[in-house]
Amino acid sequence: MSALFEPYTLRELTIPNRVWMPPMCQYSAEPEGAQAGVPRDWHVAHYAARATGGTGLIIMEATAVSPEGRISPYDLGIWNDTQVEAFRRITGFLAAHGTVPGIQLGHAGRKASTERPWMGGAPVGPEAHGWQPLAPSPLAHADGHPVPDELTVDQIREIVGQFADAARRALAAGFEVAEIHGAHGYLVNEFLSPHSNHRTDAYGGSYENRTRFALDVVDAVREVWPDDKPLFFRISATDWLDEGGWTGDDTVRFAAELHAHGIDLLDVSTGGNVSGARIEVGPGYQVPFAARVKAETPMPVAAVGLITDAGQAAKIVANGEADAVLLGRELLRNPSWARHAARELGADVGVPVPDQYGRAG
């Protein structure tokens, strides 16, 4: 048995293997009206294919806790009960086929209100279903992006409550894992990094103040998320700046604190908060950040970043660099990657083959 295909238990939830799907926005919901943020047939087909393909855990794409928390007007949301009912169709299918359904809860902050990537990804205004973004500080993400409104303390507290409400709805929608999106330059990440957080109140300045919002969100979600279900946190382990940004040292320190606040696994990515940052990209280039957290803290970790072949993924888990791997583009290219990898490694994928596909072997 390859370590990649050993079951993994967090709290009282057992995930059948260590091949997981990370959140990847599909930008395919209606932008406004009663169906805004509601999963559609595209989402059902997209996630169902990866479940029948043997993926152990599927974390639903970044799902906004409020309308203004969407990255684009076409993002999924979980701020109302209509959305909850639509998600149940997906979570029910995943669970019925042996895959654990997860969801990432997020707020886009200053990177909100943008066009879909294949339409250029530029900021959009009210004429294209857009809105005014919010952020810790009135600093634009990049040239051509609007200066966001600086959040008041009352607004910060309101957003913390929105994360908790979203977690309650996620539970009602049938999700077994919730992940807080603290990465890639979105709102939680914006608070963490001194590059994007220039506040002078209790939510800015010192490391303790800059991490306050994230810990408030974690505490609020953990309070409503059941004790028997795991809670993840996705982090950008570095801003990829020589100075003035969030660092790997910060991540190790914060991982231990997150663990003490009830986070069960750190989903370790990097970047996204600094436009134009220089990043040395190569196979497994983000794995060392996950490995360091695992080596220096009690926090379990998942690794991401150009993990593409079975041997590479198996080695990461077997060597103890991470407890699981999250494959993004590979699972877009090949929904059955897990089954093919298990066959290559002589392992049992742990997720039953649907009867309808049994003749494929």
Catalytic sites, residue numbers: 186
What are 313's two structure tokens? 């993924």
DSSP label of 103: E
Please, what is the angle between helix 248-260 and helix 287-296, to 10°? 50
Give the up-direction half-sphere exposure of residue 88: CA atoms within 13 A in the CB hemisphere: 9
Judge contact between 187 and 107, C-beta under 8 A.
yes
Q: How many CA atoms lie within 13 A of 316 on its CB side?
A: 33
Q: Which residues neighbour 152 within 8 Å (Cβ) at sequence distance 6 or greater?
A: none
What is the DSSP code (8-state) at residue 77?
B
Tell me if 323 sits within 8 A of 295, measured CB to CB: no
- Give the C-alpha separation, 340 to 354, whole Å: 15
Residue identified by tokens 């595209």 is: 42
Q: What is the DSSP letter of 256?
A: H
Are 242 and 253 contacting, i.e. CB atoms less than 8 angstroms apart? Answer: no
Confirm if 140 and 217 have CB atoms less than 8 A apart. no
Residue 104's beta-bridge partner residues? 62, 179
How many other CB atoms are there within 10 angstroms of residue 203's CB atom?
A: 19
Distance between CA atoms of residues 162 and 168, nearest Å:
10
Token pair recorded at residue 79: 């701020």
Tell me, what amino acid is at 93?
Answer: F
Closest C-alpha among 158, 157, 165 to residue 223: 165
